[in-house]
Chains A and B, each alone.
Chain A
Amino acid sequence: EADIYQTPRYLVIGTGKKITLECSQTMGHDKMYWYQQDPGMELHLIHYSYGVNSTEKGDLSSESTVSRIRTEHFPLTLESARPSHTSQYLCASSALTPGEHSYNEQFFGPGTRLTVL
């Protein structure tokens, strides 16, 4: 079944630890995105990718990094987690060319709620 998966769903970790949030999709989409959803529930785009070996920074500056080695996989890494990184992280994907869905239509994963102590 076509879907977007994020693991872990919840993560509590201490300051200074390196973490990787996983995102994978079986939607057959080329474009993928990472958003940070703050406590006020605003969505901020932090990274996006048009395809393999393509990564771009989003509108909100983030200390995280991303990679896109495989089309279906778009992990996000924090080298040294800090309490300010505590947030909900949402992964999304969309088609590169319009077809059944507009290429603006994004599909979201369930999110990872990160707490850094």
Chain B
Amino acid sequence: AQRVTQPEKLLSVFKGAPVELKCNYSYSGSPELFWYVQYSRQRLQLLLRHISRESIKGFTADLNKGETSFHLKKPFAQEEDSAMYYCALGSPYGNKLVFGAGTILRVKS
């Protein structure tokens, strides 16, 4: 069964500190992983996807198939990064996404 685990409900860091939001998944096939972000009073939006290997707003995420992880990282947190972050897993058939429980990131000044 497909499953996504985000072990931290809340992550609080100071501005300028490194950030790592953890995501582990369970899937036997070739997964497609995403990070979605929801800023306060805004809609849920795609932040990045593993297949494009891009950096968005300074965030990167590397798919580690050996550890079944897709952690989201940023070297220097900014206050505007404060938001809810969801890790999501899709199958090659694209029927639906499985979302993790989400992690609230709070960046303190």
B residues 59-85 in Cβ contact with A at 8 Å: 84
Q: Is the CB of A41 within 8 A of B43?
A: no
Bound together, the chains give a CA A94 to CA B34 distance in angstroms of 14
- Is there a chain B Cβ closer than 8 Å to A90's Cβ? yes
> What is the interface size of chain A, counting residues whose CB is below 8 A from a CB of the partner?
23
> What is the interface size of chain B, counting residues whose CB is below 8 A from a CB of the partner?
21
Q: Would you give the 0/1 interface string for A20-45, flagging 1 where the beta carbon is closer than 8 Å to chain B? A: 00000000000101000000111101
Partner of A41, one of B32, B91, B102: B102
Q: Is the CB of A104 within 8 A of B99?
A: no
Partner of A103, one of B43, B94, B99, B104: B94
Bound together, the chains give a CA A108 to CA B51 distance in angstroms of 20
Tell me the interface secondary structure of chain B in the complex.
strand
> Chain A residues near B46 (CB, 8 Å)?
105-107
Q: Is the CB of A33 within 8 A of B102?
A: no
- Is there a chain B Cβ closer than 8 Å to A48's Cβ? yes
What are 13 contact pairs spanning A and B, CB under 8 A?
A41-B38, A42-B99, A43-B86, A45-B97, A48-B95, A90-B44, A102-B51, A102-B94, A104-B32, A105-B46, A107-B46, A108-B43, A111-B43
Give chain B's interface residues, CB within 8 Å of chain A: 32, 34, 38, 43-46, 49, 51, 84, 86, 90-91, 94-97, 99, 101-102, 104
Give chain A's interface residues, CB within 8 Å of chain B: 31, 33, 40-43, 45, 48, 58, 90, 92, 94, 98, 102-111
